[in-house]
Structure 1
Amino acid sequence: MARTPDPDPVVSRRWRWALLAALGFVIVPLVYAVAVLTPLGQRAEDAALGGVRESDLFGTDTALNVISVPVILLLVVVIVAVAFARRRLAVGLGAGVVVLASAATSTLVKHIAVRPEIAQSTTPNSFPSGHATIALAALFGVLMVTPRRWRPLVTLVGAAYAVFVANQTVVYGWHRVSDIVGACAIALFWTALVRAVGPVVDRGVRGDRDGTVGPRRVVSVVLVVAVGVALAVAIAALVVGLGGGAHDHAAILLAGRLASSASVVAVVATVWFADGMHPRLVRRSS
């Protein structure tokens, strides 16, 4: 009996990215509506700002200062140059769109999504985080032009940097958890949209172009475990912060930092698995 041919993997991958783009598109207004447009959402997030103290700030804001317009433009030029050297100029242009469109969308949403004064908040609007958006979009753009065998290393380094940026913005009191989640959704939306309708990033049979299986398995485990641990500790810190008579703002701030970190790692893991980087077990035919 003839075997039914498998669906075109390119088509299935495009549908997968299209669904992720739709998810990112929905998350942005949903988070804004719940966390910014409701008194409960505003009070919950502002409780974390009460834990911000100058003594808790990181010793340097270099990671944040790196993100600037000249650096973004330089990054796009480098991405396109690398893609051109690899004879994948169309992919490089798509990666540039991911970075520039994500940055522009974050700026536009920040001006459109105003923060109404409905919870006696004295802090200005900050939705979404431009720094977190660019850090993630830059990672996803770089990954598009990076050979598959090097993506595990780039993913871990880029994810660590994005987590550090998200943490700094929360610790400094610049942003709330919803700002980071919104940033993650914007970066996911543009990455997935470009991957869905743009040029195919990986051509032909992968084979040994993926490199050894070990590093990819390690990255998969690290990403999943990191999300789980961050969420578990965030929930524990939130319970401590809300327990008792008075709120422990330091514990609530810690919960916010970890929830923000979990959001960043979760979106990185989503792109990692959607890109087919996790090694699959192949059954041998009998």
Structure 2
Amino acid sequence: MTRTPERNASESRGTNVSRRLRWGLLAALGFVIVPLVYAAAVLTPVGQRVEDAALGGVRESDLFSSDTALNVISVPVILLLLVVIAAVAFARRRLAVGLGAGVVVLASAATSTLVKRIAERPEIAQSTTPNSFPSGHATIALAALFAVLMVTPRRFRPIVTLLGAGYAVFVANQTVVYGWHRVSDIVGACAIALFWLGLVRAFGPRVDRGECGDRDGRRGVRRIVTGVLVVATAVTFLVGLGALVYGVWGGGAHDHGAILVAGRMASSASVLAVVTIVWIADGMHRATRTDA
């Protein structure tokens, strides 16, 4: 009888170490992706020419006639978001988690701004579009989603994940369609948000304690969300790959419209892939029965 508490304590410590290691590895992944993408897409003539090919189709597209989704991301809205996060954390008695969520948003935004100023874009491919690495809008959209998920009870995270992922994908698409950003800018933004989320989740307070508000909810819903994320990521990637192949080799000359579609799909796939990774790292994909 005296061994049971020791075994439970040992299992708890093992789970905690596994959790920290998992999120720490994701932080390391985000940290590595930023310089790698910058070096490959911005510092080489080939990388610049490939990405700039999509910019030739920007004027041919009028899919989005409003930049409302981009204008939503502003300083007042970010401050309001922080207030809401703090309020939810206070109501759930998770002030430390709320503080960590605030760090994810503010640190991601600050890092994106700092990298944008440091990572200059050398004009080695006759590009007329100024430096934009990474995308601040995409960074904040993803960081805001991750921060909100930290303070949201687990049973509500499926719907929050779908809505937040949809908005982040929409923002990434708009920035590419308007010619504000290239695909590498979106990938860099995803990596920065992933880095800070992984860092806070690895070394910050434990988000879920196994209490009533931390129950996973119905497994059928979680299965659906997992399937939607995986299928959406795969479909956008394949559509983007097909558009790229058609744009480069389809008609014998570069079809900038098709290449723009490829850029949009690649940006969407990057956002969806990161959200899917976070969903799985959070253990929301498990189909164990934890219904209330």
TM over 0.5: yes
Offset of residue 245 of structure 1: 2.6
Residue 206 of structure 1 deviates from its aligned partner by 7.0
* Partners of 1:138 and 1:162 in 2: CA distance: 9
**Contact 2:187–2:270 under 8 Å retained in 1:** yes
Match of 1:266 in 2: 273
Most deviating of 153-162 and 237-246? 237-246
Residue type of the alignment partner of 1:97 = V
Q: Does 1:161 align with 2:167?
A: yes
Distance 2:288 2:147 in 1: 28
Distance in structure 1 (CA, Å) of the matches to 2:45 and 2:265: 23
Match of 2:74 among 48, 68, 87: 68
Structure 2 residues without counterparts, runs of 5 or longer: none
**1:56 counterpart SS class:** coil
User: What is the DSSP-based 3-state SS (H/G/I as helix, E as strand, rest coil) of the residue aligned with 1:101?
Assistant: helix
How many angstroms does 1:54 deviate by? 5.9
Cross-structure match for 1:279: 286
- 1:251-280, Cα deviation, whole Å (9 max, x unpaired): 000000000000000000011000011124
| Percent identical residues | 79
SS in 1 for 2:126: coil
Alignment partner of 1:124 out of 127, 130, 137: 130
Deviations 1:202-236 (A, max 9, x none): 00367982111011111111000011101111110
- Judge which range, 200-209 or 124-133, deviates more: 200-209
AA matched with 1:72 = I
**TM-score, with normalisation over the residues of structure 2?**
0.93
TM-score (norm 1): 0.95
> What stretches of structure 1 move > 4 A for 4+ residues in a row?
2-7, 205-208
Give the AA of the match of 1:157.
Answer: L
C-alpha distance after superposition, 1:39-59 (max 9, x if no partner):
000000000000001652402
Aligned residues of 2:61 and 2:177 also touching (Cα < 8 A): no
Q: How many Å separate the matches in 2 of 1:168 and 1:162?
A: 10
1:1-286 correspondence to structure 2 within 5 Å: 6=11, 8-53=14-59, 55-204=61-210, 209-243=215-249, 244-280=251-287
Distance 2:35 2:148 in 1: 27
Distance 2:53 2:59 in 1: 13
Give structure 1 stretches of 5+ with no counterpart. Answer: none
How many residues align structurally? 281
How many angstroms apart in 1 are the aligned matches of 2:131 and 2:199? 27
Instruction: Report the residue type matching 2:276 in the other structure.
Output: A
Asked if structure 1 preserves the Cα contact closer than 8 Å seen for 2:220 and 2:287, the reply is no
